[in-house]
Amino acid sequence: MTGTTLDDYTDRYARRVRGMTASEIRALFAVASRPEVVSLAGGAPYIAALPLDAVGEMLGRLGSEHGVTTLQYGIGQGTLELRERICEVMALSGIDASCGASPEDVVVTVGGQQALDLVARLFLDPGDVVLAEGPTYVGALGVFQAAQAQVVHVPMDDDGLIPEALETAVAELARAGRRVKFLYTIPTYQNPMGVTLSEERRERVLDICERAGLLVIEDDPYGQLGFEGDAPRPLRARRRDGVFYLSTFSKTFAPGLRVGWILAPHAVRDKLVIASEANILCPSGYAQAAVSTYLGTMPWREQLKVYREVYRERRDALLAALEDLMPAGTTWTRPTGGLFVWASLPDGLDAKAMMPRAIAARVAYVPGTGFYADGTGTGNMRLNFSFPTPERIREGVRRLAGVMEQDIAMRRVFGGTVGRPGSRRGQAGADTPGPDLA
């Protein structure tokens, strides 16, 4: 040991640990959770909208009346009762027996995050390439990084992933002799942009992946949280072969229970179970029973409507505040569901560099750099509207706009230009870049 590092174990770590970095979002939690800070940063659902008294009584009975089974070990795949309930939930989106959905092919996971980890364990070798939307979910980037895979981003616009850019990326990677294993996509109310892949593009994306022999990993945490009519049918409802469907109860029930699932092609199901058993032995029997009982005894479909209405009101509050208060040159997406708005800053502003000043002004957001594997996205930020009240949302935007105005004024004094030529308020606003193969 040389004593030249704060970590005396540096030379003992496995190679795959060397590139690990802290999540932009997790690093914000300690500050953003302070009551004086308006947090537009996290992605927490509004749990207070649940009938907490009834949920509390249900959880108590699971321990006192059924503890002999709910507090015991279980099987790696998850209980049959919950897997049957999961199939009922998926059927609402069109993923049903007609397209091969079966409890036998569902694997229960510890939230959606473990579902991602299991897919990575099964399919990614060091050096493999994962195609993903740019920007994409920060938790997925961490999983792929831990698997020593390289993420190549495919750009999006207001209609989601751009098929032509996907086709170009696939062709260029093939010419470079790179091995691409799958496309990771959040097609519905995407995190972080909030956009939804259009009906016509869904078929084109599936066709491109099928021709290229790519698996499709469809992550769908938000699909049942639409505010303006039904979302397009999931990719898994259109193709059964080669499409893995991942989801979670974290956004529609309770993230603290950590219950998610994978619907996998039948041939892969057993390997997923083996990988899960090696990872966690079995998912929590108590958490599974809680979700099963909630779905079996409580009006969860009505609760979805409550969430949709709460989030629609808060989405509207955020969009109105952005329209009224943001400096000229700022643009943003207009989600029809989910939890997030993606904002593009006036030219010259850096969301990551601006963050300390925003915290000093008692407002938090997530800089766009956290959603790219290559550190781009400095001119963007993700804003969450699910947790703060409409009044707090407006106050948070007011504080944020003040910080941005100060930065703009500084640039005017010390040089540089402000404003995004050709941008339109209320739209994504940025020119569409080519696929990032770096």
Would you state the pLDDT for residue 344?
A: 98
Would you state the pLDDT for residue 3?
A: 52
Buried b (16+ CB within 10 A) or exposed e, 409-433: eebeeeeeebebeebeeeebbbeee
DSSP H helical ranges for 129-175: 138-146, 163-175
Tens-digit pLDDT profile for residues 63-92 = 999 999 999 999 999 999 999 999 999 999
Would you state the pLDDT for residue 431?
A: 39
Q: Which residues contact 139 (CB under 8 A, 6 or more apart)?
A: 23, 113, 116
Distance CA 47, CA 244 (A): 28
Tens-digit pLDDT profile for residues 147-156 = 999 999 999 9
State the pLDDT confidence band at 108, using cuts at 50, 70 and 90: very high
Distance CA 22, CA 202 (A): 33
Q: Can you give the pTM of this predicted structure?
A: 0.91
Distance CA 196, CA 239 (A): 18
Buried b (16+ CB within 10 A) or exposed e, 110-128: bbbbbbbbbbbbebbeeeb
Buried b (16+ CB within 10 A) or exposed e, 130-169: bbbbbbbbbbbbbbbbbbbbbbbbbbbbeebbbbebbbeb
State the pLDDT confidence band at 412, using cuts at 50, 70 and 90: confident
Amino acid making up residue 105:
D
Would you state the pLDDT for residue 141?
A: 96
Coil, strand or helix: which one is 106?
Answer: strand
State the pLDDT confidence band at 122, using cuts at 50, 70 and 90: very high
Tens-digit pLDDT profile for residues 316-368 = 999 999 999 999 999 999 999 999 999 999 999 999 999 999 999 999 999 99
Cβ atoms of residues 182 and 162 within 8 Å: no
Tokens for 140, please give them: 């997925």
340 φ/ψ angles, rounded to the nearest 5 degrees = -135, 150
Task: Provide the mean pLDDT of the chain.
Answer: 91
Q: What does the DSSP 8-state code read for residue 298?
A: S
Does 269 score more than 70 pLDDT? Answer: yes
Coil, strand or helix: which one is 183?
Answer: strand
- Angle, nearest 10°, between helix axes 351-360 and 390-414? 120
Distance CA 253, CA 294 (A): 9
For residue 98, what are the CA distances in angstroms to 87, 200, 219, 362? 12, 22, 21, 51
Strand partners, 180: 129
Would you state the pLDDT for residue 429?
A: 41
